[in-house]
Amino acid sequence: MAWDSTTVARFKKQYGSGLRESSTYLGQNYMVVDSTIANEVLQILHDEEAFDYCVDLTAVHYPQREKQFDLLWILYSFERNERLRIKTMIADGESFPSSTSIWATTDWLEREVFDMFGIKFDGHPDLKRILLPEDWQGHPLRKDYGIIQQDEQWVKINLGIESGQ
C-alpha cells in the first residue's frame, strides 16, 4: 500500500527516482531508497525531521538478487511518536558509509552487521567483530553459510571425527 506524507513528498521532490518506494504495510511505514542517496536521506531525517532515535540497524541477505543485501534502519521520532523504516539495497562486497556520525547507537549495531554479514561501513571508528571471536572465518547470517557444514569442519579439525550429527 502506498504511503504519502510531507516527508515523502519532500524526498520525492529532492531525489526523484532515488526514492524507489514509499509504502506502508500492516500499519508500518517504510521507504526504499537508492544506496547512493541513503546516507543523505538518513542525515536529513535526523537533522530536519526529528528522527533522533535509531532503534535498529540490520541487514537481510537475498542471494538470488543482484543487489544481495538489504540494509535497514528503523528510526523513531520522540516528538512525533512515529516509527519509520529506511531500506536500501547494496551488492556483495560493496561498502556503505557509516551512520555513526548521525546516531551514536549505530556504533555497535554496525559492528554486528559487519560481523554477521560482512558488510563494511566506511568511516566507522573501529569496525571489528563484536559477537564472534576476532579470528573467526566467515559471516554466519549469510544464506550461504551452513551451520552443519561449519560444525562438521570444526569437529573434523578439533575432534577428528567425521560428523557431530
Partner 1 sequence: MTDPKAYLSHLELGEKDETFLDSNELIINMGPQHPATHGVLRVVLKLDGEKVLGAECVIGYLHRGVEKIAENRTYTMFNPYVDRMDYVAAVSNGLGYCEAVEKLLNIEAPARAKYIRVILTELNRLTSHQLWLGTHALDIGAMTPLFYTFRDREEILKIFEKYCGARLTTHAFRIGGCQYETYDGFERDVKKFIDEVPPKIDEYEELLTTNRIWVERTQGVGKISAADCKALGVTGPVLRASGVKWDLRKAQPYAAYSDFDFEIPTGVNGDTYDRYLVRMEEMRQSLRIIRQAVERIPEGPIMAKVPKVIKPPVGEIYHSIEAPKGELGYFIVSDGSTQPYRVRVRPPSFVNLQALDLMVRGQLVADVIAVIGTLDIVLGEVDR
Q: Under 8 Å CB-to-CB from 104, ≥6 apart: which residues?
A: none
Query: Residue 86 carries which side chain, given as an amino acid letter?
Result: I
The amino acid at residue 98 is S
Instruction: Provide the minimum distance between the beta carbon of 13 and partner 1 in the complex, in angstroms, as a whole number.
Output: 27
Q: How many residues bind partner 1 (CB under 8 A)?
A: 40
Q: What mask of x and - would describe binding to partner 1 in positions 47 to 86, judged by CB under 8 A?
A: -----xxxxx-x-xx----------x-x---x--x-x-x-
* Using rule CB under 8 A, residue 2 touches partner 1: no
Shortest CB 128 distance to partner 1, Å: 10
Q: Does residue 130 belong to the site contacting partner 1 (CB under 8 A)?
A: yes
Q: How far is the CB of 10 from partner 1 (least distance, A)?
A: 22
Q: Do residues 152 and 163 make contact, with C-beta atoms less than 8 angstroms apart?
A: yes
Which residue, 11 or 124, has its beta carbon nearer to partner 1?
Answer: 124
Cα torsion for 30, 32, 33, 34, to the nearest 10°? 160
87's grid cell: 531500506
Rule CB under 8 A: say whether 40 interacts with partner 1. no
